[in-house]
Structure 1
Amino acid sequence: MKTATKIDEAVNAALGGERAARIARDAVRIKEVADGGFTGRAYEVFESELILEVQPVLLGMLRTGTLAQLALKHAARQGHDFFVHPDDLRLLRSSSEVRDTLMVDVLAAAMKKFREGLLAGKGWRADHNGPRGASCLTSYIVTICTWMFRRAYVRWATERVRWARVNAVYDFTEAEANQAGIGGLIGAVGYEIDTEVFGTDFEEILDEQAPETQAVVRLTVMGFGDTEIAEKLKLTHGAVRMRKTRFRTAIYQAAREGRIWIPEQLHARASVRTTAKRGAA
């Protein structure tokens, strides 16, 4: 489905009403603020109203992942290397706080670009004669938001990685903590872990995970228990356990792919644990 179609569907679902009626109303609004040179109190009111209209559409598209999908397509067309981590998509689905944070950054950048276009005599027109004709102002702003998403997401993701490092910085070269922490992390109770088994490859696999997972793993390796980790990172106990489980899964997947070596004894124990869980289910 084309970008314009997806955006129109999201706008129609959020705002309702007829597209043609919205375009006619927007033409009147633009003329009013154009008479004032797109400045002053009139423009501020117009901008505030437009932002309120766009917000629910944008939040819905962030929750469903639609905005990220459209941004990925736009980046590919522009030749930009861009990737959205699956854990981040899950977080956008589950966290209204994260959606709000990204929405504010994306929308602020889009409104700035929108006004720059108006002042330059370009931008939205009610008589646009493209393949689908004109779009309403809300759809037009959301389209700009898909262009702005990449930079906003990269800034946000970079801050989250920095957060993980600040909350749990650890050097995996210290043998004693490695042996205790990694053993506990992957369930190797009573088995002595050779730190050279993991080394740099362990770090590389960890760096591929979401920041929260990185923080949980690093604190686990340092010897902190689940309760302490939950308190430090302001996560629930369930979230801590889930992050550890996801990382164990990533470690064993890496072992199957030959990226990291794990002793056969631990493979066997992992298999037994998995079988037991399935049996219980």
Structure 2
Amino acid sequence: MSRSRVRQYIELGDSISRLLLQHLARQERFDELARQSQPRGLAPMCDEMIEEITAEVDAVVADDRMARIRRDTAKVTELADHDFKGAVYKDFEAQLCLETWPVLRGMLRSRKLIHLAMADSARLGRSFFVLSEDAEALHNYALARDEILVDVVVSALKSFRKNALVGGGWNPNFKGKRGPCCLATWFIRLCILELPQHYTTWAKKQRKIAKHEAMTDGVNLSSIIGQTGWDVSEGEATRLSDEFESILGEQSVGTQAVVRWWCMGYQQNEIAEQLHINTATVRQRMARFKRVLYDAARERRIWIPEQLHTASPVGTKTQRGAV
């Protein structure tokens, strides 16, 4: 064999050795990440919760669980090659969001995400609850769900990289009772942890919006009365508006917002859409205010013209205190 041929074999052997060493180093690094325990500060996975999340993922994602875990294992090995950074990792984040977004939206609409977050908070000794009217809004309005989920997902992505990948929290070789879970399930688990904080922020924002609506310019019933053609003097209309405004100001922020939108000419379904509540809640608040209004009329705190009794949505029965 010629010397040049021997030299070629030696160089080829050296190249193969380098590639094998690089592969072994990557595999050793990945195995080390897999062996690490879940990082501090991150709540342990609850088997029952993981089972529920997995069922939701199974209903949306085509591959079976073991196929997803094999695919995810290969993906994490590739991402580790790039130190979980750069364009490759950004592309992975985008794909993860695309895969989990419909699952998260469905779970929030069905209130399962809320129930899991409440159960998880109770298990961790934390206080978390969702107001029924907020739960209804999240069930009925996609925009409300998206407002919360965008913030939840952004926060969860940061935590996911740190805890699941770099920190080794996700373990494809997990030997627990129910075995390992896929990355999508792990990510949704993080979203459940993030939900209480971002729901609270969203709910406070909704209260501020309702309060702002309730603090707009005083109700002016003169234009409403004028459009109907009812024979009410300007002085009577002003008196009615002032008394109406005084009684409305005593009501809850939510009721004030509903009534003020009605006074601006909006229908019940339009009011519900504006305030991110359902139509039944609008009707309940209107009916509650109607009762308050008639109680005030019996106490002679407000004068309502007789012709308003049957035409106005605030009431249809005869008012004892009417003049």
TM-score (norm 1): 0.69
Q: CA deviation at 1:2?
A: 2.5
Name structure 1 gaps, 5 residues minimum.
Answer: 183-194, 256-261, 275-281
Q: 1:227 to 1:60 in 2, by over 3 A?
A: closer
Q: What does residue 217 of structure 1 align with?
A: 259
RMSD value, Cα? 3.7
Percent identical pairs in the alignment equals 30
- Could you tell me which of 146, 152, 168 is aligned with 1:122? 168
Q: What does residue 65 of structure 1 align with?
A: 111
In structure 2, C-alpha distance between the alignment counterparts of 1:227 and 1:115, rounded to whole Å: 47
Q: What does residue 45 of structure 1 align with?
A: 91
Q: What does residue 243 of structure 2 align with?
A: 179
Matched residue type, 1:246: Q
In structure 2, C-alpha distance between the alignment counterparts of 1:160 and 1:154, rounded to whole Å: 10
Aligned residue pairs, count: 234
Matched residue type, 2:257: A
Q: CA deviation at 1:21?
A: 0.7
Q: CA deviation at 1:48?
A: 1.1
Q: 1:114 to 1:108 in 2, by over 3 A?
A: same
Q: 1:126 to 1:228 in 2, by over 3 A?
A: closer
Within 5 Å, give how 1:75-86 maps onto structure 2: 75-86=121-132
Q: 1:235 to 1:44 in 2, by over 3 A?
A: closer
Q: What does residue 24 of structure 1 align with?
A: 70
Q: 1:229 to 1:169 in 2, by over 3 A?
A: farther
Matched residue type, 1:24: R
- Could you tell me which of 263, 266, 274 is aligned with 1:227? 266
Tell me if structure 2 keeps the 8 A contact 1:71–1:146.
yes
Q: What does residue 145 of structure 2 align with?
A: 99
Q: CA deviation at 1:216?
A: 1.4
Instruction: Report whether the alignment pairs 1:154 with 2:200.
Output: yes
TM-score (norm 2): 0.61
Tell me if structure 1 keeps the 8 A contact 2:82–2:88.
yes
In structure 2, C-alpha distance between the alignment counterparts of 1:219 and 1:249, rounded to whole Å: 15
Q: Which structure 1 residue ranges, 4+ long, deviate > 4 Å from structure 2?
A: 175-178, 228-231, 233-236, 239-244, 248-253, 262-266
Tell me if structure 1 keeps the 8 A contact 2:272–2:278.
no
For residues 21-65 of structure 1, what are the alpha-carbon distances to aligned partners after superposition, in whole Å with 9 as ceiling and x for unaligned? 111110110111011111111111111111111111111111111
Report the 3-state secondary structure (helix = DSSP H, G, I; strand = E; otherwise coil) of the residue aligned with 1:26. helix
